[in-house]
Amino acid sequence: MSDFVIADGRVLRVVVATAERNASLHPEGVAEGTAAVRTIGPETGAILLVGTGPAFCTGGDVASFGAAGADGGGAGGDVAAFIRAVADAFHAFLLALVEAPVPVVAAVHGAAAGAGMSLVCAADLAVGGTSTILKPGYPSLGFTPDGGMSWTLPRLVGAGRARSILLRDRMLDAATALDYGIFTEVVGDAEVSSTAEKIARKLADGPTRALGGIKRLVADGEHRGLTEHLDAEAASIAASAAHPEGREGVAAFNERRRASFH
């Protein structure tokens, strides 16, 4: 498909950062990733976020931020307008991932800072390495967060911990990120990519519609009362039972065989 979006079987691999510009968030990866995720078809069962440089993603391209504010206009002239455009493009990508009908897995090697940490917090599952570090990074630039970090992080770790992490610009090691629930799993540094890919492939081979339904229920549960949510669960499980995936799952269980969803 492109250098940044690769259809690998039922897994859609999106490259968010490369070695270029010290593994900062790549604008082409963001733009192409947004378009691809928004148009996902039934041939895709999971999304895998990767970085191909020395880190998963070290955040926005700070050099371009400086150029935007330089005398004479620089890259975009008005620094506020330039940063707003960068944030809007990134947010379109984040929303596409969150609203995607399939699970999103992040393979987080090296470091995830700023926008990179925002991506980790927005993923459904995130695999880190024993040496992987996370850092908000925004306060050190005199910035407030983007990429939904001020929304997702409190929901992952609690409001108190989120304030501590963001206000103090705390660096989190992999063990702490796992303990806080930001990482789903921590493996050896050399195993991050293969482990994340294995998880993504297993999800992609599973009941895609049901997994998408689980993702929606968990997300929507943040905004519902229990009574309303129970109604949504009842409607969802009934629809799942009537779908070919549900019928195959029940048949496989009763026939004592492995279900084949695709």
| 100 and 221 inside one domain | no
What pLDDT shows up at residue 64? 80
Asked if pLDDT for residue 22 goes beyond 70, the answer is yes
For residue 260, being part of any structural domain is answered with no
What pLDDT shows up at residue 70? 58
pTM of the model: 0.92
CATH of the domain at 196: 3.90.226.10
- Is the distance from CB of 31 to CB of 7 less than 8 angstroms? no
For residue 58, being part of any structural domain is answered with yes
For residue 216, being part of any structural domain is answered with yes
| 163 and 225 inside one domain | no
For residue 262, being part of any structural domain is answered with no
What pLDDT shows up at residue 65? 78
| Residues 247-253, mean pLDDT to the nearest whole number | 92
| 59 and 157 inside one domain | yes
| 85 and 155 inside one domain | yes
Full domain range(s) for residue 151? 5-204
Give 159-193 pLDDT, tens digit per residue.
Answer: 999 999 999 999 999 999 999 999 999 999 999 99
Asked if pLDDT for residue 247 goes beyond 80, the answer is yes
For residue 163, being part of any structural domain is answered with yes
Work out how many domains the chain is built from and give that number: 2
**Distance between CA atoms of residues 160 and 173, nearest Å:** 18
